[in-house]
Amino acid sequence: MQAKDEILEQIRASLAELFELDPVRITLASRLYEDLEIDSIDAVDLMDGLRRHTGKKISAEDFRSVRTVGDLVEAVYRLVQA
Protein backbone atom coordinates (compact mmCIF):
# COMPACT_ATOMS: atom_id res chain seq x y z
CA MET A 1 0.00 0.00 0.00
CA GLN A 2 1.35 3.41 -0.96
CA ALA A 3 0.93 6.68 0.87
CA LYS A 4 -0.25 9.73 -1.06
CA ASP A 5 3.10 11.48 -0.68
CA GLU A 6 4.84 8.48 -2.27
CA ILE A 7 2.35 8.56 -5.13
CA LEU A 8 2.98 12.30 -5.58
CA GLU A 9 6.71 11.69 -5.82
CA GLN A 10 6.20 8.95 -8.44
CA ILE A 11 3.90 11.19 -10.44
CA ARG A 12 6.32 14.11 -10.14
CA ALA A 13 9.18 11.90 -11.39
CA SER A 14 7.06 10.55 -14.25
CA LEU A 15 5.92 14.00 -15.37
CA ALA A 16 9.44 15.38 -15.17
CA GLU A 17 10.86 12.49 -17.19
CA LEU A 18 8.10 12.12 -19.79
CA PHE A 19 7.55 15.80 -20.49
CA GLU A 20 10.87 17.34 -19.45
CA LEU A 21 9.25 19.45 -16.74
CA ASP A 22 11.02 21.04 -13.80
CA PRO A 23 9.92 18.99 -10.76
CA VAL A 24 9.61 22.23 -8.76
CA ARG A 25 6.68 23.24 -11.01
CA ILE A 26 4.79 20.04 -10.17
CA THR A 27 2.68 20.60 -7.06
CA LEU A 28 -0.67 19.22 -5.93
CA ALA A 29 -2.33 22.42 -7.18
CA SER A 30 -0.67 22.31 -10.63
CA ARG A 31 -3.28 22.06 -13.37
CA LEU A 32 -2.27 19.46 -15.93
CA TYR A 33 -3.51 21.30 -19.01
CA GLU A 34 -3.09 24.94 -18.08
CA ASP A 35 0.02 24.93 -15.88
CA LEU A 36 1.96 21.91 -17.13
CA GLU A 37 0.73 22.01 -20.75
CA ILE A 38 -0.21 18.31 -20.80
CA ASP A 39 -2.48 17.80 -23.81
CA SER A 40 -4.74 14.83 -24.57
CA ILE A 41 -2.01 12.87 -26.37
CA ASP A 42 0.38 13.51 -23.48
CA ALA A 43 -2.35 12.28 -21.12
CA VAL A 44 -2.36 8.90 -22.89
CA ASP A 45 1.41 8.64 -22.36
CA LEU A 46 0.96 9.62 -18.73
CA MET A 47 -1.76 7.00 -18.19
CA ASP A 48 0.50 4.35 -19.75
CA GLY A 49 3.40 5.38 -17.50
CA LEU A 50 1.20 5.18 -14.42
CA ARG A 51 -0.03 1.74 -15.48
CA ARG A 52 3.58 0.55 -15.64
CA HIS A 53 4.32 1.95 -12.16
CA THR A 54 1.18 0.66 -10.47
CA GLY A 55 0.47 -2.46 -12.49
CA LYS A 56 -3.12 -1.20 -12.80
CA LYS A 57 -4.88 0.73 -15.51
CA ILE A 58 -6.63 4.02 -14.82
CA SER A 59 -9.84 4.02 -16.80
CA ALA A 60 -10.45 6.84 -19.26
CA GLU A 61 -13.62 7.61 -17.29
CA ASP A 62 -11.65 8.07 -14.05
CA PHE A 63 -9.00 10.13 -15.82
CA ARG A 64 -11.62 12.43 -17.36
CA SER A 65 -12.27 14.03 -13.96
CA VAL A 66 -8.56 14.68 -13.33
CA ARG A 67 -7.68 18.36 -13.61
CA THR A 68 -4.78 18.83 -11.19
CA VAL A 69 -1.82 16.80 -9.97
CA GLY A 70 -3.74 16.45 -6.69
CA ASP A 71 -6.68 14.91 -8.56
CA LEU A 72 -4.28 12.50 -10.21
CA VAL A 73 -2.76 11.54 -6.86
CA GLU A 74 -6.26 10.80 -5.53
CA ALA A 75 -7.18 8.72 -8.60
CA VAL A 76 -4.00 6.64 -8.34
CA TYR A 77 -4.45 6.28 -4.58
CA ARG A 78 -7.99 4.92 -5.04
CA LEU A 79 -6.71 2.59 -7.76
CA VAL A 80 -3.92 1.07 -5.67
CA GLN A 81 -6.24 0.70 -2.68
CA ALA A 82 -8.76 -1.35 -4.69
Q: What is the pLDDT of the chain when averaged over all its residues?
A: 89
Backbone angles phi, psi at 81, to 5 degrees: -80, -25
**Residue 66 exposed, middle or buried by CB count within 10 Å (0-12, 13-18, 19+):** buried
Res 15: pLDDT: 92
Q: Which CATH number is 57's domain given?
A: 1.10.1200.10
- What digits encode the pLDDT tens for the residues 2-40? 799 999 999 999 999 999 999 999 999 999 999 999 988
* Structural domain boundaries enclosing 25: 4-81
Whole-number Å distance between alpha carbons of 10 and 50: 9
Element (H, E) at 25: none
Give the pLDDT confidence score for residue 16 in this predicted structure: 93
Q: Which amino acid is at 43?
A: A
> Residue 1: which pLDDT band, with cuts at 50, 70 and 90?
low
Residues 77, 2: contact at Cβ < 8 Å? Answer: yes
Question: For the chain, how many structural domains are there in total?
Answer: 1
